[in-house]
Amino acid sequence: MALRESHDKTSPRPAPRHSFRALACSRTGNVAVLFALLSIPMLGAIGVAIDYAKAQSMQTRLQTALDAAVLAGVNQEAGQQIARAQAVFGLNFLEPSLALSLDFRENPDGSLTGRVSTDVATTVSTLIGVDSLPVSTLATASLRRSRSRVCILTLDQSGAPGLLVNSGAEVIASECEIHVRATGFPAATINALTTLDVQRVCVRGHDVLVNGSAKRPETDCEAIDDPFRGTLPTPSLACTISYPPPYTAASVTLSPGTYCGDLIFHGGPTIDLLPGVYVIRGRMMLNAGTILRGEGVSLYFPDSTSTMQANNAVRLELSAPTSGIFSDILISEPAGLPRSSFVINAGLGQALRGLIYLPSRDITVNAMTGTTDATALVANTLTLNQGIWKLDGGKKVMMTTSGQHSAYLVD
């Protein structure tokens, strides 16, 4: 008995049942194993997120550079857009070691499309077998053109100047442009104490003279050509009234027709024109104080010696027909006549409605009052002296060929 008791008290080994229970209750080993098992997909997910953010950053950089490239390229002429876009892309994306696939295409509608793609090398994602992420982006730019009205157009290309605005003259036409096709020196002269409240003055030539604080015209500009050449009607030139005697009455009424010979009015009468077309084959001389008025009328001067001249202040109240082949044509002549002069002095006031088409005339406007005229003017050259001339272009509209434009990205 003594020996058995001594053996039981000193034995170091626990019973097997207790050992297995202790092992089962231990959690230290389980956590380590679980962490080891889960760390691989966790690191993979983190790596993918990091590399995805890297790819997104690259795509943003590529998109920014591509947007700038197509916006710059689409402003160029057809055939030059791609070269410009490639140059601008290279300036905005400086990473020569990165292999890119870059392509630009000029579209039939004038827009420009660019496409760029590359592969972005991964870092952590290589642990799960992803060595690179593809990145690509697309951009298309187009032009938004805003065509503008042209209220005054001078055609003489060698004229110096094609437009002369002297002190005291004002043109108020905030919705219109003035176009000057002259290229001589100077192509246009704008003197001090003048006002040109227009959208712009577009001068084809390079050299202009601007005195005082007047706004400088836009030079080397794409001034429009004559939009009416060869399109306006020609009335019958057969004389219906030949060499009429001087009109001496204070009130004169004229009927439509072809007047052959000078129209001479004594004093300063009131001249009423009945509706219709008036062909003036001679000179129509208006003395100081004359009032010339008529609704639905059109005056036609068939040659360079036929003219209307008002050297002193008169009043003009004339509106063009609203129907027929001369609709909205107030004063006209055929294109291609020898150069001649035409003087307007509406110092007593004016109300004009309709196109004034005198492409071979050097027009001098000596005075205008501040009323608004629904008219557009085509002349060889134009000199504006004293007075305020308000224009809105009328219904016989001249428009810029291309207009000012701005590039925009197409969604």
The distance of Cα 27 from the centroid of its chain, to the nearest Å, equals: 78
Residue 357 DSSP class: E
Q: Please give the Cα distance from 389 to 367 (Å, whole number).
A: 8
Peptide bond preceding 256 in cis form (omega within 30 of 0): no
Peptide bond preceding 302 in cis form (omega within 30 of 0): no
CA angle 134, 135, 137 (to 5 degrees): 145
Residue 127 DSSP class: G
pLDDT of res. 405:
67
Residue 13 DSSP class: P
Is 220:204 a contact under the CB 8 Å cutoff? yes
Q: What is the CA radius of gyration of the chain?
A: 42
Is 275:317 a contact under the CB 8 Å cutoff? no
pLDDT of res. 130:
82
Q: How many Å from the N-terminal Cα to the C-terminal Cα in the chain?
A: 101
Q: Please give the Cα distance from 204 to 156 (Å, whole number).
A: 11
pLDDT of res. 18:
54
Q: What is the pTM of this model?
A: 0.67
- The 3-state DSSP class for residue 352 equals strand
Pick out the chain residues at pLDDT < 70.
1-45, 47, 145, 401-405
The distance of Cα 43 from the centroid of its chain, to the nearest Å, equals: 56
pLDDT of res. 215:
79
